[in-house]
Amino acid sequence: MGGGFKKGWLILLLVVAFQLGSGYFEESTETPAPRRPQIAPPPPPQFESGEESVAAGPALPAASTRDPLFLIETGEKSDSTGTAFTIRDDGIWLTARHVVDGCSRVGLVVEPRRAVQVKRILPHPRADMAVLWTGRGAPALSISHDPLRIRQEGFHFGFPKSKPGQVTSSLLGRRNMRTTGRYRHTEPVIAWAERRRSPQTDTLGGLSGGPALNAKGEIVGVTVASSKRRGRVMTTAPSSLETMLSMARVQPAGIPSAGLNAGPRNGNFIEYGTALRRQLTVAQVICRVGSGRRRPRRS
């Protein structure tokens, strides 16, 4: 059983590597740099403050059924990848529900050609969010308790378009997202206006499930959708995050900035994302559907 599982993951990871070379994926990417647990990690990088934060505006109004509505359709599930991030250093992670929904096996890439099995998945019943449990931890992110404000900065990290990547944004306001297809619900989300993207991919597919952070390096949501045409990035609402953690009976135990000495800024967000991925605070998720071989695609 154990040998067959390892062989299955090896086959899938080889397929992932081939697809990365061919540019087929829209929601997959390279694996993080290797970091073996028995080797003491290097000192955390020292970041310069970079550019000054943009002055935030008024507090974000309460959610309303009158907030603008948009639709998302979840199609048939196949082998795919996405992003997850850790909220406890004992192996508890958050991701987007659509990244792991419908998967028969889920793993987190920890080294080239090596993934650890996700032992348990708890999806949110009414939001695009899920909690994952593994036997391996990493420096955890903390959750912000500050109220969201219009125009405040956001920083999104993950694996868009087959490569490690990141986006900076500015908070626009609330939206309602209606999901149809494999599952159906309507949930409040937060809309952000994209400001900078690195690398300059033609889609943000694969960023789903990654953390949205404030300028302190604290979690303000899970990235779940984007619109290239309008330059928008959508994240889960704080209320959905609170409900998810309550359902999972998880008490987050992260420290601000995952042990880094400062939060992200417009001047250092690329290096900041690299540091988060190197220490596996942000990791790639692999979803396998069924027991046969399938070509991975976006989830």
Cα-flanking dihedrals φ and ψ of residue 190, to 5°? Answer: -110, 130
Q: What is the pLDDT of residue 101?
A: 95
User: With bands split at pLDDT 50, 70 and 90, how would you rate the model's confidence at 136?
Assistant: confident
CATH number corresponding to 2-35+56-288: 2.40.10.120
Closest Cα partner for 106 from 299, 256, 288?
Answer: 288
Q: Is the pLDDT of residue 5 over 50?
A: no
User: With bands split at pLDDT 50, 70 and 90, how would you rate the model's confidence at 44?
Assistant: low
Query: Which run of H or of E encompasses 175?
Result: strand 165-181
User: With bands split at pLDDT 50, 70 and 90, how would you rate the model's confidence at 59?
Assistant: very high
Confidence (pTM): 0.81
Report CA-CA distances (Å) from 143 to 7, 83, 257, 280: 37, 17, 10, 17
What are 79-127's pLDDT values in tens digits?
Answer: 889 999 999 999 999 999 999 999 999 999 998 888 999 999 999 999 9
For residues 55-89, b (16+ Cβ closer than 10 Å) or e, as one string? ebeeebeebeeebeeeeeebeebbbbbbbbbbbbb
CA distance 128 to 75: 14
Report CA-CA distances (Å) from 264 to 42, 163, 180, 270, 276: 19, 20, 34, 9, 11
Q: What is the pLDDT of residue 200?
A: 86
Q: What is the pLDDT of residue 66?
A: 96
Q: What is the pLDDT of residue 8?
A: 55
Q: Are strands 211-213 and 219-227 parallel, antiparallel or unpaired?
A: antiparallel
AA letter at 246: S
> Which of 45-49, 121-125, 263-267, 286-290 has the lowest average pLDDT?
45-49
* Number of residues in the chain: 299
Cα-flanking dihedrals φ and ψ of residue 277, to 5°? Answer: -75, -35
Q: What is the DSSP letter of 29?
A: B
Closest Cα partner for 155 from 268, 287, 8?
Answer: 268
Report CA-CA distances (Å) from 295 to 18, 81, 92, 97, 257: 10, 11, 28, 21, 36
Please give the mean pLDDT across all residues of the chain: 83
User: Would you say the C-alpha torsion 36, 5, 124, 246 has a positive or negative sign?
Assistant: negative
Q: Residues near 294 by Cβ (< 8 Å), separated by ≥ 6?
A: 78, 79
